[in-house]
Structure 1
Amino acid sequence: MRTAIISLVLIMGLIACKQKKMELTQKEKAVAFIKSFETGSSDVLNFIDENIKSHNYTLPNGKNTYEMYFTNEPSGCKIEFIRIFEDKEFVIMHNKYTNLEGYPGPIITFDIVRFENGKIAEHWDNIALEINESINGNSQTDGAVIIKDISLTEKNKAVVSEYMQVMLSGEFDKIAKHINGENYIQHNSIIDNGVSGVLNTIEKLKTEGIDVVFNKVHRIFAEGNFVLAIVEGSMGDKPTSFYDLFRIENGQIVEHWDILEEIQASEDWQNTNGKFHF
């Protein structure tokens, strides 16, 4: 009898281990969530919180919003996951969508999801149309993708925090301290590579009467060498949400991607969560 009980305990333990191994990670759940806009798979609804909050102004809160999208029928949209990293309960994804309904061409996005008790409780995004030409020769999405230097996560986050304080102060002559000189790789299509590319663009925009203003850093996310800053500001007279992704190497910024999205008037929103509540 004792042997039978021990055997049963061992079997139950193996089953529990197997079930634990089959549990999806946060990154896997986040990818499945976004991928469902392509596949239409309703399986993802199992790990969406009933009261999920949306920070995309076109989407109402609640799980039922996503039930309308996920019907087990492919949408015709194609999604490419370019970079994925994680900071505690947040998963950050750098994505490209093709043939997404409502857009005239491919879009580049940052999608962020927050987990609570294993379920997706909030979703943020910043969206821009893909641009086919750039003065730096780089696209909005190419470049390094491998996460490394995990032990330096907090130090790298501090590098970006200091850099963003310079940008908030408007003392642009000080940015060279944080950027790896002319080796700096730029993925914003209107800015050339190198520190000089950044400074020249700022001056050019000023002569055109367009001031780039950073008002507040709302959040900085990081995993290893990748750091994303979420910033509220303006381009000219347009309130703007800035998502700036940096790659850090040896304590300096060596590569930069961004998405700028004009903030719509609040009366047009389908929810009251705002773009910057983290």
Structure 2
Amino acid sequence: MDTITNKQRILSFYKLIVGQRKVELIPEFICEDYIQHNPTVKQGRAGIIEMINYLKTLPPPPVGAKSPIIRAIQEGDLVVTHLDITFMGKRMAVIDLFKLKDGMLAEHWDVIQEMPDQTGMAITATNGTAEINESASAIKSKEIVERFYKAVIQKVPVINLVKPDYIEHDATVIESGKSLDAYWSDDNSRQIKIHRIIGEGNFVVVQSEFKRADKAFVFYEIFRVEQEKIAEHWSVRQAIPDGIKPAAMF
């Protein structure tokens, strides 16, 4: 299957199985040996079946409700989705990463973070640009982000890689009053390890882990590149549960 079909397949999975709770369709979407990297969910189809059966006990989404999927980014057999969901009275930012095999969901990673109250704010953790510029080079966009990361990790100046008017969606960075590179560079205790960089057009997703004071975190970021510079940035982070080896979540 080509990459566009892979993205459409994921969107259909959300609509039919997660949204409409059609558990009977799971064998049509999920590989029997589906690998789950969320330590709270069972492996294989059993974990998805259990999740959907639980959702069936909750009120269904209102008719005409806005889709929680804000962005969907694909590269080859990998599809990333950025969601804004409300669950059990809490508003969550979620990033899911799926790997597909012959059109079937074969592997899944995710990260979930409770969002701060941003009522009335012009910039929130998930809003902003959603449309991908398909004419942009994903290779070039990834190169820009890789150069940015290299500069931050090596603690050297980020030269001409960030637009002066770039838009920051990470509330922690906003509250610091610093630019993104300065915020990271000033955190001398943070150790970053990049696992995957995924790009489509002018959007780039970075899956990484970082350690701070011996505590490990799963960290996903989305960058929008414009005119060969970083123009917008979103992120979702989650502490890795005690007793779980970080490698299991990547």
Class of the TM-score when normalised by the shorter of the 2 chains = 0.7 to 0.9
Structure 2 unaligned residues grouped into runs of 5+: 62-66
Summarize deviations over 1:32-52 as a string: whole Å, max 9, x none.
333433431122431200010
Alpha-carbon shift at residue 236 of structure 1 (Å): 4.0
CA distance in 2, matches of 1:174, 1:200: 9
Q: What do residues 56-77 of structure 1 show as CA deviations (whole Å, max 9, x unaligned)?
A: 1101211122122335937437
CA contact (8 A) 2:37 2:248 kept: yes
Contact 1:48–1:63 (Cα < 8 Å) also in 2: yes
Tell me the CA shift for residue 159 of structure 1. 0.7
1:141 equivalent in alignment to 2:126: yes
Picking from 53, 74, 82, the partner of 1:94 is 82
* Higher helix fraction (1 or 2): 1
Amino acid at match of 1:40: R
Instruction: Tell whether the 8 Å contact from 1:164 to 1:217 is kept in structure 2 after alignment.
Output: no
1:116-265 equivalence runs, <5 A:
116-133=101-118, 137-169=122-154, 171=155, 173-181=156-164, 183-192=165-174, 196-198=178-180, 201=183, 211=188, 213-265=190-242
2:52 match: secondary structure: coil
Stretches of structure 1 that go unaligned for 5 or more consecutive residues are 1-19
| 8 A Cα contact 1:233 1:242, kept in partner | yes
Normalising by structure 1, report the TM-score: 0.76
Instruction: Give the secondary structure class of the aligned counterpart of 2:174.
Output: coil
Given the alignment of the two structures, is residue 69 of structure 1 paired with residue 46 of structure 2, yes or no? Answer: no
Q: Scaled by the length of structure 2, what TM-score is found?
A: 0.84
1:52 to 2:23 alignment: no
1:200 positional shift: 5.9
Match of 1:112 in 2: 97
Distance 1:126 1:161, change over 3 A: same
Alpha-carbon RMSD across the aligned residues, in angstroms, is 3.0
For the pair shown, the structure with the greater C-alpha radius of gyration is 1
Give the structure with the higher percent strand: 2
For the Cα contact (< 8 Å) 1:241–1:263, is it kept in 2?
A: yes
Q: In 1, are the aligned partners of 2:94 and 2:112 still within 8 Å (CA)?
A: yes
Aligned residues: 239
Residue 244 of structure 1 aligns to a residue whose secondary structure is strand
1:34 equivalenced with 2:14 (yes/no): yes
